[in-house]
Amino acid sequence: MSERIRVVIADDMAGYRTTLERVLASATDIQVVGIAKDGNEAVEVCEREDADVLLTDIEMPRMDGIAAITALAKRKRDISFVVLTVHEDNDNVFDAIRAGAMGYLLKTSTPDEVISAIRRAAQGEATLTPKIATMVLNDFRRQREDVELDETHLYELSARELEILDLVTQGMRNKEIADRLCLAEKTVKNHVSNILKALQVNSRTEAAMKAIKEKLVSG
């Protein structure tokens, strides 16, 4: 990276591009080396001017900002991306981050916040506006909760099934279990089938191994 951070601005609104140029001109360590009105131009200018950071809107003609980030991430490894947009929906946020954006700011951000995000991106550090950060964290928590619910459901066995699973891990067959618990062999067979389904395994051996590994039985 050069001594000054070489930035390309991509936005389809001429007035906003001019405003951003003026904002970035106030930072002595940032140099605007190119302007683009769509994603295609952004890719071309970033490559031609050897940009360090692309500051881009999302919704632009011909090629949008996320597509431009995706294309440049494959072709130019030494560039970072900051999105500056009005879009705050989940799809755009996560698509941009997956594409490689190190920063995601809304156009309500202050000039200092935009400049800081560019500096951080050039250093490989991420910046999210508080609203976007909250959205990302909430989505992460929601995914964790979904996983925890799935795991709880996965091991949701009745007391009788846990008792039978314990005997399965001891190597006992259905008839032996039936005799031990004074149950019909068919009843034990049905319980074993439910256990395999709950543990998402295909055999008694797999069930026994998983039960021991996950400490579902005392043995």
- Report pLDDT for 180: 92
**Calpha distance 101→116 (Å, rounded):** 15
- Report pLDDT for 213: 83
Q: Hey, CA dihedral for 84, 85, 87, 88, is it positive or negative? A: positive
The answer to whether 157 and 165 are in contact (CB under 8 A) is yes
- Can you tell me which residue has the tokens 């964290």? 137
Query: Where does CATH 3.40.50.2300 sit in the chain?
Result: 5-139
Local structure of residue 127 (DSSP, 8 states): E
Report whether pLDDT(148) > 90.
no
**Calpha distance 94→212 (Å, rounded):** 38
Q: Which amino acid is at 27?
A: A
Q: What is the average pLDDT value for the chain, to the nearest integer?
A: 89
State pLDDT tens for residues 45-75.
999 999 999 999 999 999 999 999 999 999 8
- Report pLDDT for 66: 96
* CATH number belonging to domain 5-139: 3.40.50.2300
- pTM here is 0.64
Report whether pLDDT(12) > 90.
yes
Report whether pLDDT(194) > 50.
yes
Residue 16's Cβ-count burial label (10 Å; 0-12, 13-18, 19+) is middle
Q: Which is higher by pLDDT, 13 or 137? A: 13
Largest CA distance in the chain: 85
CATH top class, domain 155-213: mainly alpha
Local structure of residue 142 (DSSP, 8 states): H
Residue (of 100, 62, 61) closest to 82 by Cα position: 100
Query: Where does CATH 1.10.10.10 sit in the chain?
Result: 155-213
